[in-house]
Amino acid sequence: MNKVICSAVQMASSPHVEANLIEAGRWVAKAAEQGASLVVLPENFAIMGMSEFDKLSVAEEEGSGPIQEFLARTAEANQVWIVGGTLPIKASAGRVKAAALVFDAHGVTVARYDKIHLFDVDVPGSSEQYRESNTIEAGDAPLVLDTPFGRLGVAICYDLRFPELFRRMAMGGMDILAVPAAFTAKTGAAHWELLVRARAVENLCYVVASNQGGFHVNGRETFGHSMVVDPWGKRMACQPSGAGEVSAEIDLDQLVKVRTAFPALQHIRLHCQ
């Protein structure tokens, strides 16, 4: 399959898992109607709690639970691959993994990526404070997997600020990068599009970046601007604000042409171990 439509879903998730799943299902179905074969959900799509500890009460064992059942059912019903944003998967006592599960069009879980870089930050110029490490246990392994539409890499939100991760993924043959995220309004306005487009350009890959976007019940505001970007850094589609989905056609033949005409990946001299 040399051409494929990829979609990024944007939400403003609430503390209510069931309501969030209903909304996510609606947008996946809409993307499928647009011809999408790959749909990326945002980080924390299933729950944005009033407290960072709320996710612990809905954490699931890998392979079972209502959130994973929803993702499997929705992928199969719509005949799409889904990158399941992130959901809390049980880890050590009192902590979870922020896991992005990849489901194929038969509803089978084919891969899992656990967020490596945790957002422990006091946002400059605001009163916002985040300590993901209070509830999340970091992952330690990048993910690039084979799909019917090329080699797919998965990263999550704060990971975007660490280019060495993506260089390793590029060396693993990544063609398309899926990035579920929940960038804050302030950091998103400063850096979201810059980082998404930079990761596309430096790794000569397509990027499907799905962000939370809007005002949340817990008082948080997220930046939105979910987008699909091509290997030359061109923004192909964007959802500036509010819930929705954006789709764009990815052309792997064009990707080969770009990489052949501009062989930057072949010129790398400092290799990540």
| pLDDT digits (tens), the chain, 273 positions | 699 999 999 999 999 999 999 999 999 999 999 999 999 999 999 999 999 999 999 999 999 999 999 999 999 999 999 999 999 999 988 999 999 999 999 999 999 999 999 999 998 888 889 999 999 999 999 999 999 999 999 999 999 999 999 999 999 999 999 999 999 999 999 999 999 999 999 999 999 999 999 999 999 999 999 999 999 999 999 999 999 999 999 999 999 999 999 999 999 997 755
Give me the CATH number covering residue 121: 3.60.110.10
Residue-number span of the structural domain to which 134 is assigned: 3-267
Residue 43 bears catalytic tag: yes
**Per-residue pLDDT at 123:** 84
**Per-residue pLDDT at 165:** 98
The answer to the question of residue 55 being in a domain is yes
The answer to the question of residue 144 being in a domain is yes
Q: Looking at 6, 23, 43, 137, which residue is catalytic?
A: 43
Residue 157 bears catalytic tag: yes
The answer to the question of residue 110 being in a domain is yes
Paired tokens of 126: 């605001």
- Give the number of domains in the chain: 1
Half-sphere exposure of 185 (CA within 13 A, CB side): 15
The answer to the question of residue 273 being in a domain is no
| Nearest partner of 85 among 13, 169, 173, 184, judged by Cα | 13
Residue 121 CA to residue 237 CA, distance in Å, equals 30
The answer to the question of residue 189 being in a domain is yes
**Per-residue pLDDT at 223:** 98
Residue 6 bears catalytic tag: no
Q: Looking at 157, 193, 205, 245, which residue is catalytic?
A: 157
Residue 66 CA to residue 57 CA, distance in Å, equals 13
The answer to the question of residue 23 being in a domain is yes
The answer to the question of residue 104 being in a domain is yes
Paired tokens of 143: 């993910």
**Per-residue pLDDT at 236:** 98
The answer to the question of residue 272 being in a domain is no
Cβ-in-10-Å burial (0-12, 13-18, 19+) of 228 comes to buried
**Per-residue pLDDT at 19:** 98
Q: Looking at 55, 60, 97, 115, which residue is catalytic?
A: 115
